[in-house]
Structure 1
Amino acid sequence: MEARRRLRGQRHHGKGNKVRPDFERLLADVERGLIDVVVAQEWPRLERNRTDGVRVIETAQRCEILLTFAKGPDIDCTNAMGRLAADLYSAIARNEIEVKGERQSRAQLQRARQGRPPKGQRPVGYATNGDVVEHEAAAIREVFRLFAVADGTTIAGLAAALSGKEGPQVPKSVPRLPRHTRTVMIERNARRVAEGLPPKPVPDDGKWSTSTIVSILRNPRYAGYSVYTNRLDRTKNKRQTWYAQIVKDDDGEPVRGQWEPIVDELTWWRVQERLNEPSRVTNRTGSTTRKHLGSGLYRCGHCEQRVRTNGERYRCEDCGINRTRRHVDDWVLRLIRERLSRPDLADTIPTGDEPRLKAIAADIATRQAKIKRATADYDNEIIEGYDLKRVRERENTAIASLETERRALTATTDLGGVLDAEDPVTAFDDADLMIKRRVIDFFVTVKIHPHPRGSKTFNPATVEVVPKQLG
């Protein structure tokens, strides 16, 4: 039997539940009767949380071993006074850890309120000082862009693209990147070598996981928001804590970080909206691909909310309007084909003024992001319903005016070549679902009204197809 063993406590990284293999091996050896004295520098090196302290004391009592410390007295847990002393040292150690944690949290919150980059491992696309790592940022921009606007983009497809895979669901425009854990460790080893320290093992360059892609898409830092995470507050659902991370100033406005955003605000909020879709939350495939022509595109004729698919029907969750998908889609497609067959099609879609289009897009994005922020604040019970209504009315009025101007200047680059085709109707019929949805949204707003009770014949008047002003 060993006369004694020195416990060399692992460095603490701020997580009280961190697995400590040496600590577990020590307790196992004590239970097996291999140790009669445990030596540590001081009590805080022995325990990291309340559970560790209780286990040490109970094991020392049960196995009749002595606890001795380089900076403290010996403790014999086989008697009541020894166990009392151990409890006191344990409580003091935990208090020191908690006070240190609170002090660090206050410092991190202060950094966030100043808009300074948080400390810790750098996210993909940013250096530790907040500068943009351009080749990584290019991949992040494309990941956000595709997930925000492309109905056929899946999280699994994005993960495969970053991993360098190919396939029908893998977007080719996303550049391959090494796994971030590997990149970060290589960078750390370079610093260790410069400091005269030996390098640590570098993880293999495996595939990107879907959970990592979700973490990237959820991170408010990419939109330029300053963030702070209170790790002690677990009262909110995890899907909402991403919003709660955004630091607000005294006026309730998000604090902007002192770094360059990789994506614009609207793109980030559109991604959050898509990630929060009930169909994605409840399915087990992780797919957010649109599978139906009007889901999330058509609107309820009563409340203006976008309808969802429910089996073979379109349904407004708020008003209960429930319509057969096939009937509505057939009528909308018929009207779009008629619009595309007009000889004056090309004349109604002038070439745009690119600088002005960019300015309009930026203004619309900022205003739509304000609406989405207000909606998230309302969901989290930060603002009242009348505040949300006021923001929506103000910003939607401005957006409607800007969109009218944009349609008068718009080009046709995002419509899959349908409008420029020799036969636009045929090009539309041959296009994929995503392009068809864009063409419909370009020309009209579709509003679904209730079908008359008792009528078994489709009534076109119940599907309001409102042309948008193009020029």
Structure 2
Amino acid sequence: MSSEERRAAIYLRISQDRENTRLGVDRHREDAEALIAARRWISAGIYEDNDLSGKGHKKRPAFERLLEDIGAGLIDVVVAQEWPRLERNRIDGVRIIEAAQRGHVLLTFAKGSDIDCTTAAGRLSADMFSAIARNEIEVKAERQSRAQRQRAEQGRPPKGVRPLGYASNGDVIKDEAEAVERIYIAFSSGASLRAIAAALSGGEGKDLPKMPNLPRHNRTLMIERNARRSEEDLEPRLVPTDSPWVSSTVLGILRNPRYAGYSTYTPKEVLTNGDRRRSWRAQILRDEHGEPVLGRWDRIVSLDVWEAVQDRLDDPARITNRAGTDRKHLGSGLYRCGVCDKPVKAQGLRYRCEGHVLRSRAQIDDFVVETVRRRLQLPDLYDLLPSADEPRMREIKGEIDDRRARLHRAQRDYDDELIEGLDLKRIRDRENAAIDTLEVDRLRLSLGMAHNSVLEARDPLTAFDGGDLAIRRQTIEILCEVHLLPHPRGIKVFNPDSLTVTWRQPTT
């Protein structure tokens, strides 16, 4: 085949073209077509992956078709703007080199030279181009990472997609911020992630106190982007449908340290202990003394509320509950067996502790609810409520901060070669063990600090009657302990003496 008869395919890729202007791919296409015309090759089509990053192992549809057509013998030359447009990870680099070698395909570049992968020298050149391209990517990533960290150290809002409640410059968006506050209050009151998501969607769970009905945040963001596109005389992009909120989105809001005013920076490396729960707090940037860096924006929730929410989310009982955190019955896992003191489980229409008790759910629930309702009507209700040991909470937080500061100092000493690796490991093991113990203590105390929309209401009884299952369960848990005793079989009449309701005493 003469050089004039070679079939030349054009591969185009621009990593980012959010506005779909196509300026980059059109410019590269013109350069490639000019090169093909100068070489007198035959056009074999255009393979385009516009606005598609090649990072990681993300599939590029046009690139995959290009490899298939090379394998089918339909292409003699591949023309690209430069090597990084063709390869963005080592795996795809090897694939295109091997495909070109097997298919006797020439790789050529508008801003570069020809590479003949059928020769050892050509494959060496391709490997060198590949190594140079990856090095440029890594250097750029390091530079961007350092800039992000510097921005966080200065307490400036991070770049990127704005979170619910904040503008891109860090200003508070009032109506969205109020929604964030209600999400935190509802969760602190005992509502589940699923119930909050349903309430935000205006569906089941809408009876959560003052929970607004909001469109999904990704829909709001796209509407805002289209408004900016309209100002620039650009075509609008597709707006996502207003689908219901999902639990994972609510979780992301509850986990975000920015709402408590913390400046955040997330390093790319995975924590050495692999503990996902710690990684949430590990996003909080700390100074050389181990103190959290505060952002230059107004916090939406208080530090105590945010920390208490993290403690509840970190509760091992939630983490190990693979069936979900939503309870379907009032007393399941809440009431306890009067014989062995273990939580009872719901089984059909009954509560059960195997070998000890088997009781009617409806009878027990009706009695407990009515007993709690009477309690909520007492004029001295608030004098009877248990209270958290707030001084001890502050003391625990101070101890945790001190130990985290020691970890930072130890890491700094190791980096400065003042201590050995074994010393660093010993300090890490000791301090992390102490922090874990303190976190457990804080979790136990934080249960008494949780917001409760019933007990905080002007009319607790009305709030209890109108609350969802999660709020009712939390109210009962704060006020009392319920123990179920064995009941003679065959007797259907409910005996109030067959269970005990023990009111929790206020702490002094």
TM-score w.r.t. the length of structure 2 is 0.65
The CA distance in 2 between the partners of 1:127 and 1:177, in whole Å, is: 17
| 1:163-312 equivalence runs, <5 A | 163-164=201-202, 166-167=203-204, 171=208, 173-233=210-270, 235=272, 236-289=274-327, 309=343
Tell me the residue number matched to 2:42: none
2:431 maps to which of 383, 390, 397: 383
The CA distance in 1 between the partners of 2:473 and 2:506, in whole Å, is: 16
Say yes or no: does 1:125 pair with 2:165: yes
Q: Deviations over 1:357-389 (max 9, x none)?
A: xxx99x8798389369659969x9693556788
Instruction: Kindly indicate whether the alpha-carbon contact (under 8 Å) linking 2:182 and 2:210 is maintained by their aligned counterparts in 1.
Output: yes
Q: Which deviates the most, 363-372 or 65-74?
A: 363-372
Q: Deviations over 1:263-297 (max 9, x none)?
A: 22222222222222333323344324596769799
Say yes or no: does 1:79 pair with 2:116: no
Instruction: Kindly indicate whether the alpha-carbon contact (under 8 Å) linking 1:38 and 1:65 is maintained by their aligned counterparts in 2.
Output: yes
Tell me the residue number matched to 1:158: 196
Change (3 A) 1:440 1:125: closer
The CA distance in 2 between the partners of 1:372 and 1:218, in whole Å, is: 22
1:40 maps to which of 77, 80, 93: 80
Change (3 A) 1:162 1:436: closer
The CA distance in 2 between the partners of 1:20 and 1:5, in whole Å, is: 16
Instruction: Kindly indicate whether the alpha-carbon contact (under 8 Å) linking 2:189 and 2:474 is maintained by their aligned counterparts in 1.
Output: no
2:14 alignment partner, SS class: coil
Q: Deviations over 1:308-337 (max 9, x none)?
A: 84759xxxxxxxxxxx8999xx9xx99x97
The CA distance in 1 between the partners of 2:237 and 2:161, in whole Å, is: 16
| Deviation, structure 1 residue 49 | 1.0
Say yes or no: does 1:25 pair with 2:65: yes
1:9 alignment partner, SS class: strand
Number of residue equivalences: 408
Change (3 A) 1:349 1:204: closer
Tell me the residue number matched to 2:14: 10
The CA distance in 2 between the partners of 1:95 and 1:54, in whole Å, is: 16
2:431 alignment partner, SS class: coil
2:251 alignment partner, SS class: helix
Q: Deviations over 1:57-90 (max 9, x none)?
A: 1111111111101221100101111001000000
One-letter amino acid of the structure 2 residue matched with residue 212 of structure 1: T
Instruction: Kindly indicate whether the alpha-carbon contact (under 8 Å) linking 2:333 and 2:344 is maintained by their aligned counterparts in 1.
Output: no
Change (3 A) 1:132 1:170: same
Instruction: Kindly indicate whether the alpha-carbon contact (under 8 Å) linking 1:243 and 1:376 is maintained by their aligned counterparts in 2.
Output: no
- Percent identity among equivalent residues? 45
1:255 alignment partner, SS class: coil
Tell me the residue number matched to 1:346: 379
Change (3 A) 1:185 1:435: closer
The CA distance in 1 between the partners of 2:54 and 2:106, in whole Å, is: 28
2:13 alignment partner, SS class: coil
2:91 maps to which of 51, 55, 60: 51
Higher relative contact order (CA 8 A, sep 6+): 2
The CA distance in 2 between the partners of 1:308 and 1:256, in whole Å, is: 43
1:257 alignment partner, SS class: coil
2:238 alignment partner, SS class: coil
Of structures 1 and 2, the larger Rg is shown by 2
Instruction: Kindly indicate whether the alpha-carbon contact (under 8 Å) linking 1:42 and 1:72 is maintained by their aligned counterparts in 2.
Output: yes
The CA distance in 1 between the partners of 2:186 and 2:343, in whole Å, is: 22
1:88 maps to which of 128, 135, 144: 128
Change (3 A) 1:325 1:278: farther
| Deviation, structure 1 residue 167 | 2.2
Instruction: Kindly indicate whether the alpha-carbon contact (under 8 Å) linking 1:294 and 1:437 is maintained by their aligned counterparts in 2.
Output: no
Instruction: Kindly indicate whether the alpha-carbon contact (under 8 Å) linking 2:334 and 2:344 is maintained by their aligned counterparts in 1.
Output: no
One-letter amino acid of the structure 2 residue matched with residue 51 of structure 1: I
Change (3 A) 1:433 1:9: closer
Instruction: Kindly indicate whether the alpha-carbon contact (under 8 Å) linking 2:55 and 2:89 is maintained by their aligned counterparts in 1.
Output: no
The CA distance in 1 between the partners of 2:318 and 2:159, in whole Å, is: 32
Change (3 A) 1:155 1:10: same
Instruction: Kindly indicate whether the alpha-carbon contact (under 8 Å) linking 1:155 and 1:286 is maintained by their aligned counterparts in 2.
Output: no
| Deviation, structure 1 residue 412 | 5.7
Change (3 A) 1:96 1:84: same
1:7 alignment partner, SS class: strand
The CA distance in 1 between the partners of 2:84 and 2:324, in whole Å, is: 44
Tell me the residue number matched to 1:455: none
Instruction: Kindly indicate whether the alpha-carbon contact (under 8 Å) linking 1:36 and 1:65 is maintained by their aligned counterparts in 2.
Output: yes
Tell me the residue number matched to 1:143: 183
Tell me the residue number matched to 2:349: none
Say yes or no: does 1:370 pair with 2:397: yes
| Deviation, structure 1 residue 92 | 0.4
Instruction: Kindly indicate whether the alpha-carbon contact (under 8 Å) linking 1:162 and 1:177 is maintained by their aligned counterparts in 2.
Output: yes
The CA distance in 2 between the partners of 1:54 and 1:432, in whole Å, is: 57
Instruction: Kindly indicate whether the alpha-carbon contact (under 8 Å) linking 1:7 and 1:38 is maintained by their aligned counterparts in 2.
Output: yes
Change (3 A) 1:214 1:149: same
The CA distance in 1 between the partners of 2:403 and 2:246, in whole Å, is: 27
Change (3 A) 1:114 1:163: same
Instruction: Kindly indicate whether the alpha-carbon contact (under 8 Å) linking 1:10 and 1:20 is maintained by their aligned counterparts in 2.
Output: no
Q: Deviations over 1:4-58 (max 9, x none)?
A: 1221113155843343222223222222322221111111111111112111111
The CA distance in 2 between the partners of 1:276 and 1:37, in whole Å, is: 57
One-letter amino acid of the structure 2 residue matched with residue 130 of structure 1: G
The CA distance in 2 between the partners of 1:30 and 1:180, in whole Å, is: 43
Structure 1: 5+ residue stretches without partners? 299-306, 313-323, 351-359, 404-410, 422-426, 449-462
